[in-house]
């Protein structure tokens, strides 16, 4: 089939050419300039709608002619291009073209129909473009009724696609992304749009299908209530859906004044577009030609939104590399498709093989205070921020938080975030308490916003005058840094390697296993759990304690082991591990008698495997543990109460089973990694 197309280098025309080439048709298209890049697979015909003879090579012997060319912008040229040009093309096409398909517009029905529009609705063109298209359609319709031309007039509504030249829909998307959009007037406005590929489907049907009669006119469109249309965009952007609404009369007054201001974002035409209360009916083309919409509004708009996204650059800063798998791993596994991610910290590049899509930058951020070393680290952070130009920096851990807040502020990073995961000053006294508290105040002041990883921590900070906009600091979801990867913490998957680990550790079927998995410090309760377990094992010698984590007790544990070795009976001392899920899989009860926590990620990791936790009744852990339902809370530092809590699980086995099941259920409901990442992603987009 020989296909001729005017407007082939335009938005719709290019899609139409591509589709006909794919069908194996011979395609010719009109272009005024030989310098325009050729379209592979199609023949360019150099010509001008103003010169009849230049059009004859285009239409000669054509089975179908699609007249898609139109002047859209220059009102002074619209009549010559759209009306006179159509008249010249008709002259050239007479006796040559078997079928004519006229690409028109629903604009010819006017901007204020009083009810829904179908093909029988009288036209009511208003502006220069609408008037010229209506006049061109009348010329084609007259030729068809005279009998010498077979043809169809197709009237699409607002046509969109990722490569569309019209920017109004992109501007709407950007307004919603930035939180600037508001609805106008009462509910009930309608958004009429149609994806370009659906328009091409309709054009090809008009050009190739058997027509019930000559001189047919068809409308092709799709519509949604404006509220639903905006919700589609907001959902694709993963931002909150706008709900603000302004009186129509007030907005129209502002728009009329703004019409005299060049490039002002609010205009009368835009107000009209956001207050239309009618839709275009497509039942005629569906029933007569079998048209079916292939790309839904939801799919098309989501595709459009994705095309507007330039990935935000996000830099996560940590003090030490060991927190990467513990606190960032779940995020890093999910983030690459949404953001360009970089992790900065001491020795973090050791994880680059585990997360190959992430950028890694090693900058020493020593946890201990060292003025010269800290200034050097601050300088390196500033240099990196200035060269990388991140959109968001997000830190965790105290030293990383302070240096990132300073560097981000000095380098004017647009969005600066820190997540508090516990307060050093909470367990300090006098001068040290004031010093570390002052550092947290600096962090809170210099950042755009700070988060915490638990509601109780936010309340605690609020009571100590660290807040956001006069309210407690925000928390993502129900708390935690990145949630639990339920596919990783799955007992069925871990059964075989856990059985092997149990053999290596000397765990028998009769053993009852308590675990402590954390940094071995006094603040984490490492000394307390050793002393409590020593009392438990006297009554229940089949008990074991897996004492897992790096020793950061500054010699205190070593001294304790030397002076009172009996405290370590049935204790398996294990250094830092990267597979703590296996140790949890062989555990009956987790113990975390900490003196300060932000949340206690290990608690929900254990819960995912049906393991309840004994924890201190402190900020953070009161959110991770639902007392007497998913675990037991006891007064921090009370070793006797800790001992009794451990003994209770041995004396009442049913408690172990019921709490374990409740713990797993709570994690699935509140703390899955997918849920926490969705909250984080939405937060990043909202802040940017």
Q: Which is nearest to 586 in space by CA: 513, 492, 669? A: 513
Rounded CA separation 573/312 (Å): 44
Compute the Cα dihedral for 670, 672, 675, 676 and give only its sign. positive
| Beta strand segments in 293-444, E | 312-320, 339-346, 359-362, 392-396, 415-420
**Contact in structure between 417 and 393 (CB atoms under 8 Å):** yes
**Bridge partners for 515 per DSSP:** 546, 590
CA atoms within a 13 Å half-sphere pointing along the CA-CB vector of 41:
13
Q: State whether residue 512 is helix, strand or coil.
A: strand
Q: Among residues 29, 109, 129, 677, which one is catalytic?
A: 129
**Cβ atoms within 10 Å of 114's Cβ, excluding its own:** 9
Q: Is 278 a catalytic residue?
A: no
Residue whose entry in the numeric block shows the structure tokens 């149990």? 502
Residue 83's contacts (CB-CB under 8 Å, 6 or more residues apart) are 132, 135, 136, 139
* Phi then psi dihedrals of residue 367, to 5 deg: -65, -30
Please check whether residue 156 is in contact with residue 221, taking contact to mean a CB–CB distance below 8 angstroms.
yes
Task: Determine the Cα–Cα distance for residues 414 and 402; give it in Å rounded to an integer.
Answer: 17
Residue 113: helix, strand or coil by DSSP?
A: coil
- Between CA 658 and CA 97 the distance in angstroms is 80
C-alpha distances in Å from residue 363, one per residue of 18, 380, 383, 410, 658: 51, 7, 11, 18, 46
Q: Please list, in sequence order, all residues whose beta carbon lies within 8 angstroms of the beta carbon of residue 188, skipping any fewer than 6 positions away.
A: 225, 277
> Distance between CA atoms of 577 and 78, rounded to whole angstroms?
73
In eight-state DSSP terms, residue 351 is G
| Under 8 Å between Cβ of 28 and 5 | yes
Cα distance between residue 443 and residue 428, in whole Å:
19
Active-site residue list: 129
């Amino acid at each position: 089939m020989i296909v001729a197309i005017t407007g082939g280098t335009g938005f719709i025309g290019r899609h139409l050419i591509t589709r006909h080439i794919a069908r194996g048709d011979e395609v010719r298209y009109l272009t005024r300039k030989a310098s325009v890049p050729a379209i592979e697979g199609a023949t360019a015909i150099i010509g001008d709608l103003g010169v009849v003879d230049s059009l004859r090579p285009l239409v000669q012997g054509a089975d179908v002619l699609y007249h898609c060319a139109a002047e859209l912008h220059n009102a002074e040229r619209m009549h010559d291009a759209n009306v006179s040009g159509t008249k010249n093309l008709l002259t050239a096409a007479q006796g040559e073209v078997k079928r004519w398909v006229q690409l028109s517009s629903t604009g010819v029905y006017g901007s204020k129909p009083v009810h829904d529009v179908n093909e029988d609705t009288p036209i009511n063109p208003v502006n220069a473009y609408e008037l010229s298209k209506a006049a061109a359609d009348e010329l084609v319709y007259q030729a068809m009724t005279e009998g010498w031309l077979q043809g169809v007039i197709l009237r699409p509504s607002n046509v969109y696609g990722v490569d569309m030249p019209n920017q109004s829909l992109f501007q709407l998307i950007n307004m919603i992304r930035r939180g600037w959009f508001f609805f106008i007037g009462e509910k009930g406005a309608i958004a009429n749009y149609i994806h370009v590929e659906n328009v091409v489907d309709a054009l090809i049907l008009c050009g190739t299908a058997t027509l019930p009669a000559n001189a047919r006119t068809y409308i092709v469109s799709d519509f949604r209530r404006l509220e639903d249309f905006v919700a589609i965009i907001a959902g694709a952007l993963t931002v909150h859906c706008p709900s603000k609404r302004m009186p129509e009369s007030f907005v129209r007054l502002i728009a009329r004044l703004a019409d005299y201001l060049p490039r002002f974002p609010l205009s009368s035409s835009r107000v009209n577009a956001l207050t239309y209360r009618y839709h275009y009916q497509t039942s005629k083309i569906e029933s007569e030609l079998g048209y079916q919409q292939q790309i839904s509004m939801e799919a098309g708009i989501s595709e459009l939104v994705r095309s507007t996204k330039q990935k935000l650059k996000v830099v996560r800063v940590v003090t030490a590399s060991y927190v990467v798998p513990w606190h960032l791993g779940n995020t890093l596994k999910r983030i690459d498709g949404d953001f360009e991610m970089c992790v900065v910290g001491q020795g973090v590049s050791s994880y680059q093989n585990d997360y190959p899509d992430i950028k890694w930058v090693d900058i020493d951020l020593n946890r201990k205070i060292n003025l010269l070393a800290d200034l050097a680290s601050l300088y390196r952070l500033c240099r990196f921020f200035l060269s990388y130009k991140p959109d968001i920096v997000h830190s965790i851990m105290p030293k990383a938080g302070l240096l990132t807040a300073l560097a981000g502020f000095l380098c004017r990073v647009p969005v600066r975030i820190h997540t508090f995961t516990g307060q050093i000053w909470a367990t300090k006294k006098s001068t040290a308490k004031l010093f570390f508290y002052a550092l947290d105040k600096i962090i809170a002041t210099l950042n755009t916003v700070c988060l915490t990883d638990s509601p109780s921590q936010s309340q605690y900070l609020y009571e100590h005058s660290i807040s956001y906009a006069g309210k407690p600091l925000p928390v993502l979801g129900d708390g935690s840094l990145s949630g639990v990867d339920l596919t990783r913490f799955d007992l069925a998957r871990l059964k075989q390697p856990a059985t092997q680990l149990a053999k290596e550790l000397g765990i028998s079927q009769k053993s009852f296993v308590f675990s402590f998995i954390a940094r071995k410090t006094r603040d984490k309760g490492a000394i307390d759990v050793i002393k409590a377990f020593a009392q438990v094992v006297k009554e229940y010698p089949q008990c074991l304690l897996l004492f897992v984590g790096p020793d950061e007790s500054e010699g205190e544990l070593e001294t304790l082991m030397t002076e009172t070795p009996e405290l370590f009976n049935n204790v398996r001392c294990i250094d830092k591990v990267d597979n703590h899920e296996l140790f949890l899989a062989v555990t009956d009860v987790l113990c975390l008698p900490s003196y300060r926590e932000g949340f206690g990620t290990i608690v929900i990791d254990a819960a995912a495997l049906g393991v309840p936790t004994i924890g201190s009744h402190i900020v953070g852990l009161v959110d991770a543990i639902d007392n007497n339902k998913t675990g037991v809370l006891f007064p921090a530092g009370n070793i006797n109460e800790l001992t009794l809590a451990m003994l209770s699980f041995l004396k009442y086995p049913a408690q172990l089973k019921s709490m374990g099941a409740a713990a797993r259920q709570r994690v699935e409901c509140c703390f899955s990694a997918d849920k926490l990442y969705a909250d984080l992603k939405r937060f990043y987009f909202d802040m940017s």
